Structure 1
Amino acid sequence: MKKRLEMLEQLQEIDYLIDNLKTTQSGLTEEMSGIEQALIDARQELSGLEGRVVLLEQEKEELESSQTVEQENIRRSETNMKEIKTNKEYQAVGREIAAARKQAAEIDEQTLQKVSQIEELNTEIATRKETLAELEQNTSQRRDEKQAEISKIQQDIDADVARREAITKELPPNLVKRYNALRKQRRGQAVAGARDGYCLGCNMNLPPQLYNSLYKGDELISCPHCQRVLILKLQPAAQ
């Protein structure tokens, strides 16, 4: 029975190692996802800027088309003025030409604003493309580094799982089942030390008779409070 208790304790130590390795591996996987997401975000931002340029170019073309129409209207009105005979008609056409020229001037101003915005965005896009190229290179390198770490940890996990299987094969199936159930119920700790009359798993006082039975080591004894399997842990002798 003492050997079984020692094997259960070894099993728990291995499970602790596996749990910690999996936690580390999960953290690395999240880091790698974050690295990938940063690259995706950078590409989307660049695509968004390029989309804005396309939209501005379309708006500029529409303004230029409107400007062409306004200039044609002005020319037509100026031609018509030569044929006007009454002062009233002349003044009316003059007002139309003035309004059209004002509209044309506003269109010119809006067009210049679009051109300026396009130039600014193109400058930013060029910078973003350089940054993205560097990010893609760095991402590839960092991804490879993280993947290498993850693979190394997986090798360690596989080795510990093999050790775990070797131990569980030497233990009775019902004991392994009980151990696994306790681990699940007690946050990964199925085995607890007992010292000075206390369970070190839940820090509760153990009945004296039960605690004394631990010295014999001829049976599996569970804590009556947390149900963990108890292993006697005596204080080291004073030097």
Structure 2
Amino acid sequence: MKKKLSLLEELQTLDRTIDDKCLAQTALRAEIAGNEQDVAAFRQAHETNLAQMADLERQKNELENALATELDNIKRSESHVKEIRTNKEFQAVGREISTARKQVGELEEQILGLTTRTDELRAVLEAQQAELLSREESGRAVATEKSDMIDSLQREVDAATAGREAIVSQLPANLVRRYQQLREQRRGQALAEVQGGSCLGCNMHLPPQLYNTLFRGDELLFCPHCQRILILKQEQAQQ
């Protein structure tokens, strides 16, 4: 029984190692995913600004075309002034030219506003583009570094798993099943050390008879409070 308890203790140590390494891998993958999400969010913001810039330039082009049309209208109307024969016609053409010039002024004002906005947005886009490239490069470096760490941890997990399988092969199947059930029920800790007459798994005091039986080490004993498998270190048993 002492041999089985020793193997179970080794098994629990390996299982904790595997658990810890797997948790570390999960955390590293989360870091990679989080960094990728941050870069993606920044890229989306940049693309939104690019779309806004395209829309502003479209509006500006439309206004410039409208301005060119109004200027042509003014030029054409002014060229007809010499051909006017009546005062009524002259007044009508004058009103057309006045309306067109007013429209030209409004269009020019709108174009100026759009030009200012596009210039400001262009500066933002240039800064964003540089920042995006930097973040993407940094993200690739981080992903490579974290991936290497994940691979290194996986090698440790594989080694611990091989050691675990070797230990399991030396234990009865029913004992392994019981151990695994306790691990699942007790947050990964199937075995608990006993010190000073208390179970360190739940910190509850053990019945004196049970504690005395532990010193013989000839049977598998469970904590009556948390049901973990109890182990007593050899040096304690000698004392």
Q: Normalization by structure 2: what TM-score?
A: 0.87
- Which residue is equivalent to 2:74? 74
Structure 1, unmatched stretches of 5+, are: none
- DSSP 3-state at the match of 2:221: coil
- DSSP 3-state at the match of 2:193: strand
Q: 1:234 to 1:170 in 2, by over 3 A?
A: closer
Q: Distance in 2 between matches of 1:100 and 1:134?
A: 50
* Counterpart residue identity of residue 217, structure 1: G
- Which residue is equivalent to 1:28? 28
Q: Does 1:199 align with 2:189?
A: no
- Which residue is equivalent to 2:128? 128
- Which residue is equivalent to 2:17? 17
Q: 1:180 to 1:84 in 2, by over 3 A?
A: farther
* Counterpart residue identity of residue 110, structure 2: Q
- DSSP 3-state at the match of 2:7: helix
* Counterpart residue identity of residue 218, structure 1: D
Q: Distance in 2 between matches of 1:143 and 1:84?
A: 81
Shift of 1:79: 5.3
Equivalent residue runs for 1:116-195 within 5 Å: 116-195=116-195
Q: Distance in 2 between matches of 1:181 and 1:81?
A: 102
- Which residue is equivalent to 1:49? 49
- DSSP 3-state at the match of 1:193: strand
- 1:199-233 per-residue CA deviation (whole Å, 9 max, x = no partner) reads 11111222222222111111111111111111125
Q: Distance in 1 between matches of 2:146 and 2:127?
A: 28
Moved more, 102-111 or 205-214: 205-214
Shift of 1:94: 4.0
* Counterpart residue identity of residue 85, structure 1: T
* Counterpart residue identity of residue 159, structure 2: A
When the two chains are superposed, the root-mean-square deviation of aligned CA atoms in Å is 2.4
Moved more, 38-47 or 11-20: 38-47
Shift of 1:185: 0.6
Q: Distance in 1 between matches of 2:46 and 2:199?
A: 61
* Counterpart residue identity of residue 219, structure 1: E
Shift of 1:101: 1.9
- 1:45-94 per-residue CA deviation (whole Å, 9 max, x = no partner) reads 3322222221111101111122123234434554566637346x755654
Q: Normalization by structure 1: what TM-score?
A: 0.87
- Which residue is equivalent to 2:102? 102
* Counterpart residue identity of residue 121, structure 1: L
- DSSP 3-state at the match of 2:194: strand
- Which residue is equivalent to 1:60? 60
Alpha-carbon contact 1:194-1:200 (below 8 Å) kept: yes
Q: 1:91 to 1:232 in 2, by over 3 A?
A: same
Moved more, 221-230 or 191-200: 191-200
- 1:139-173 per-residue CA deviation (whole Å, 9 max, x = no partner) reads 22222111111110100011011111111110001
Moved more, 214-223 or 42-51: 42-51
- 1:5-27 per-residue CA deviation (whole Å, 9 max, x = no partner) reads 11111111111111111111111
